[in-house]
Structure 1
Amino acid sequence: MDSPFVMQQRYPAPIEQVWEALTNENSMWAWYFPQLKRFEPVVSFAFEFAADGEKQVPTGLYFSWSYRLRLRKRAVPR
C-alpha cells in the first residue's frame, strides 16, 4: 500500500464506554457489525462480515485505535 487511508471519529461518550464498545464482543455485535460471527480484540485477529453492494476487491482493510491520555496537574492539599 503506497499511502494509508486514515479515518478519525470522535464519539460523544466517556472513553470507558467507547472502549467497552470496541473491545466487548457483544457490544461489537450490537453497534458495529450485527452480522459478525466472532470477534476478539487482539492484534491480527481476522474476521469476516457480509454486506450488500457491488464487490470491489481492495488489498486489505486494517483497523486500529488509540486515545490520548490527558494528564492534568492537580493541586494536592497539604
Structure 2
Amino acid sequence: MNTPITVQYKINAPVEKVWNALTDKNKMKSWYFDIQDFTLEVGKEFNFYEPGEEKKYHHQCHILEIIPNEKLKHTWSYPELSDAVTTVTWELQKEDIGTLVKLTHENVESFEGLGENFSKASFTEGWNKIIGKSMKEYVKK
C-alpha cells in the first residue's frame, strides 16, 4: 500500500500572502523553482528543472484543482525518466495567527526504480526544506 508523504508547517503570514507565493511564478522562483510556463488555470501544464545550469530532472505537471487561498492540486512526473505520474496537493488553512501549509505527495513509490534521488526519504527531505525553510523565510519578508 502506498502511503503519501505529508509535510505540514505553520507559517507566520496571512493565507493570501502564502497563496501568492505559491501561485505567482515571479515569486515562486525566489523560494521554490523557476517555472516560466506556470499559469494558474485547471488543465494547464507547467515544466521546470532542478536549479542549476545542467537542466537536471525535467519535471512536468498538470494543474488538477484550484480553490483560491485554499488548495492547489497538480500532477508531478519526470517524462524523460518514467511513465509514472504522482499527485501533489498544497492545502492552506487560515489560523488565528498565520497559515497552516499542508503538502501531500501521493504515489511517490512509483519513482523508486529511478534511484536514491527519487526515494520517499529524498522527497520527504526535499519538501521539508522547501516548505519549512525556503517558503517560510520567503513569506516572512
Give TM-score, length-normalised by structure 2.
0.37
Letter in 1 for 2:39: E
Counterpart CA distance in 2 for 1:44 and 1:5 is: 24
Q: Secondary structure of 1:66's match?
A: strand
Instruction: Indicate the percent of aligned positions where both proteins have the same amino acid.
Output: 30
Higher helix share: 2
Counterpart CA distance in 2 for 1:8 and 1:58 is: 28
Q: Is it true that 1:59 corresponds to 2:58 in the alignment?
A: no
Map 1:60-75 → 2, pairs under 5 A: 60-69=85-94
Stretches of structure 2 lacking an aligned partner (at least 5 in a row): 51-55, 58-77, 97-141
Map 1:1-78 → 2, pairs under 5 A: 2-34=2-34, 36-51=35-50, 52=56, 57=82, 59-69=84-94
Stretches of structure 1 lacking an aligned partner (at least 5 in a row): 72-78
Count of matched residue positions in the alignment of Structure 1 and Structure 2: 69
Higher strand share: 2
Q: Secondary structure of 1:67's match?
A: strand
Question: Structure 1 8/58 Cα, relative in aligned 2: closer, same or farther at 3 Å?
Answer: farther
Counterpart CA distance in 2 for 1:21 and 1:40 is: 14
Partner of 1:76: none
Q: Secondary structure of 2:92's match?
A: coil
Give TM-score, length-normalised by structure 1.
0.56
Q: Is the 8 A contact 2:15 2:94 kept in 1?
A: no
Report the alpha carbon displacement of residue 41 of structure 1 after superposing the two structures with TM: 2.0
The one-character-per-residue Cα deviations of 1:24-49 (angstroms, maximum 9, x if unpaired) are 22112222112x22111223332111
Counterpart CA distance in 1 for 2:28 and 2:41 is: 14
| Runs of 4+ with deviation above 4 angstroms | none
